[in-house]
Chain A
Amino acid sequence: EVQLLESGGGLVQPGGSLRLSCAASGFTFSSYTMNWVRQPPGKGLEWVSGITGSGDGTYYADSVKGRFTISRDNSKNTLYLQMNSLRADDTAVYSCAKRGTGGDPEFDYWGQGTLVSVSS
């Protein structure tokens, strides 16, 4: 059974930093592109970032480019998101999502998410 478990969220002041983690199990982690998707309270889904299975390709939404860094440790089956220079509009539930296979695949598994609140 595929499981994705996020951690690391919390309350942080504007300009601060947080590192999110996503522990994966139930599949060959290194074979799949992994992503972070966020959802502000009461709002829709927003893709944040993605990383290829080997880690050699990373992709970011314009809204976080230069502030967030995605990475992975395939030996630990763990995905990370380093978030710096946080702003109030970064407040959201952050979920990791596994990408399926083939061309332009769906997100076939999602974690429950971890809440990041940016406020003074």
Chain B
Amino acid sequence: SYELTQALSVSVALGQTASITCGGNIIGSKNVHWYQQKPGQAPVVIIYRDRNRPSGIPERFSGSNSGNTATLTISSAQAGDEADYYCQVWDSSTAVFGGGTKLTVL
């Protein structure tokens, strides 16, 4: 079965840029989606199909995907960006999630 690997945690200084990666075998050939989940809340899609932002998601959030790594980049990180971030792909009609990365804004 397909697996996605994410770092457990990432820290970023306020106003700086954070990169959260999602590793998978030839993940560049798949569509990667990113979700943000704050405590006690449902996940929210922030990037879909590698690099697209739903309406209402700030331009500070961007995505890329190539080779064996997909990356979520958060520019000018704000305190409100502290959350868990999950990547997700489809593999043979089943959805696969990464283990999630907790972002801490210092």
Contacts and interface: CB of A to CB of B under 8 A. Distances in A.
Interface in A35-91: 35, 37, 44-47, 50, 59, 61-62
Nearest to A95: B42
Given A45-B43, A110-B42, A110-B43, A50 B33 contact: no
Contacts of A35: 95
Interface string B36-48: 0100011111001
Interface of B is mostly: strand
Interface of B: 1, 30-31, 33, 35, 37, 41-45, 48-49, 54, 84, 86, 88-90, 93-100
Given A106-B45, A107-B33, A108-B54, A44 B99 contact: yes
Interface of A is mostly: loop
B32 to A, nearest CB: 9
Interface residues of A, number: 23
A100 B52 CA distance: 13
A45 B86 contact: yes
Contacts of B89: 104
A4 to B, nearest CB: 9
Given A106-B48, A106-B88, A107-B35, A44 B42 contact: no
Contacts of A112: 41-42
Nearest to B52: A106
A50 B49 contact: no
